[in-house]
């Protein structure tokens, strides 16, 4: 079975582990994780994220975007730079990412910054529409607001709500809008009952797998940087939750991932 890790921060992982991108990608490939998407978080790492893909073009696509957790640092000039890079993108830039909303961290949720988060989200959704790209979305304690923006934006290529945690109703609303649900390490924790129940009930065609490496450690590996190889631990948990066979699950998720994030890369 082969897998596509649809949400990673390989540039940060390489730094944490003191490994090169080709080394990291080779290790992932050996474990069956043959494709990876690397997402940016701020303008400062646009170049590094682009380089990750250039160093491993057979395996790595990437997305550029401004993450809501760093909303204080983002400027209008960063948005201009993002627009410019998207206009001049290569075939391996297949998403606007990582963008979204963060309501779980007080420091970025003052009235002023919450408003700025929404302004930057709206601007980046407009760029995704302009350049006909899907989005890779961050959403913590903000699913209701995010759904309103997605409904308004009407993106032809939609995208994924990554590392989803939440209720079936919240997930279903994204799915009804055409979005996929990113299944990450959360479901490996028995205590995450609500999210596990959500992932169990959603249509298989709406699911993607991801690690968010080096973040979101899976159960049993807490305290260590998360790695693309650990996608298989999450896959194992997913298979325990679902009624389909592991082969069926892997095949369906592979097809969905390819269609969303690899179709243009070639």
Nearer to Zn ion, 87 or 105 (CB): 105
Nearest distance in Å: CB 79, Zn ion: 19
Count of positions on this chain that bind Zn ion (CB under 5 A)? 2
Nearer to Zn ion, 102 or 212 (CB): 212
Report how far residue 37's alpha carbon sits from residue 5's, in angstroms, rounded to the nearest whole number: 6
Site string for Zn ion, 152-191 (x = CB under 5 A): ----------------------------------------
Residue 244: HSE in the Cβ half-sphere, 13 Å Cα cutoff: 17
Q: Nearest residue to Zn ion, using CB?
A: 212
Nearest distance in Å: CB 69, Zn ion: 9
Nearer to Zn ion, 164 or 249 (CB): 164
Q: What Å distances lie between residue 237 and 124, 133, 135, CA to CA?
A: 33, 30, 26
Site string for Zn ion, 210-239 (x = CB under 5 A): --x---------------------------
Report how far residue 32's alpha carbon sits from residue 113's, in angstroms, rounded to the nearest whole number: 41
Which tokens sit at 147? 């759904």
Site string for Zn ion, 94-113 (x = CB under 5 A): ----x---------------
Nearest distance in Å: CB 185, Zn ion: 12
Q: Collect contacts of 217-226 with beta carbons under 8 A, ≥24 apart.
A: 217/185, 218/185, 218/188, 219/185, 219/188, 219/189, 219/190, 220/188, 225/13, 225/16, 225/17, 226/13, 226/185
Report how far residue 209's alpha carbon sits from residue 188's, in angstroms, rounded to the nearest whole number: 12
Nearer to Zn ion, 11 or 98 (CB): 98
Chain residues binding Zn ion by CB under 5 A are: 98, 212
């Amino acid at each position: 079975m082969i897998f596509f890790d649809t949400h990673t921060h390989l540039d940060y992982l390489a730094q944490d582990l003191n490994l090169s991108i080709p080394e990291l990608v080779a290790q992932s490939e050996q474990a069956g994780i043959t494709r990876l998407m690397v997402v940016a978080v701020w303008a400062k790492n646009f170049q590094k994220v682009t380089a990750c893909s250039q160093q491993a073009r057979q395996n790595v696509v990437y997305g550029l975007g401004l993450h809501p957790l760093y909303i204080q640092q983002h400027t209008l000039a960063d948005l201009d730079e993002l627009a410019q890079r998207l206009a001049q993108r290569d075939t391996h830039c297949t998403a606007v990412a990582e963008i979204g909303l963060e309501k779980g961290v007080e420091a970025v949720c003052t009235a002023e910054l919450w408003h700025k988060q929404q302004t930057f989200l709206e601007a980046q959704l407009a760029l995704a529409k302009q350049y006909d790209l899907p989005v890779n979305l961050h959403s913590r304690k903000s699913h209701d607001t995010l759904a309103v923006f997605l409904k308004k934006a009407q993106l032809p290529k939609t995208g994924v709500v990554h590392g989803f945690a939440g209720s079936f109703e919240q997930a279903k609303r994204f799915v009804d809008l055409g979005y996929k649900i990113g299944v990450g390490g959360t479901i490996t924790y028995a205590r995450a009952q609500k999210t596990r129940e959500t992932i169990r009930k959603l249509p298989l065609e709406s699911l993607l797998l991801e690690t968010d490496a080096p973040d979101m450690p899976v159960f049993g590996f807490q305290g260590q940087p998360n790695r693309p190889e650990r996608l298989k631990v999450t896959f194992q948990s997913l298979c325990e939750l679902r009624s389909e066979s592991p082969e069926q699950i892997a095949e369906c998720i592979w097809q969905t991932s390819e269609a969303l994030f690899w179709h243009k890369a070639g």
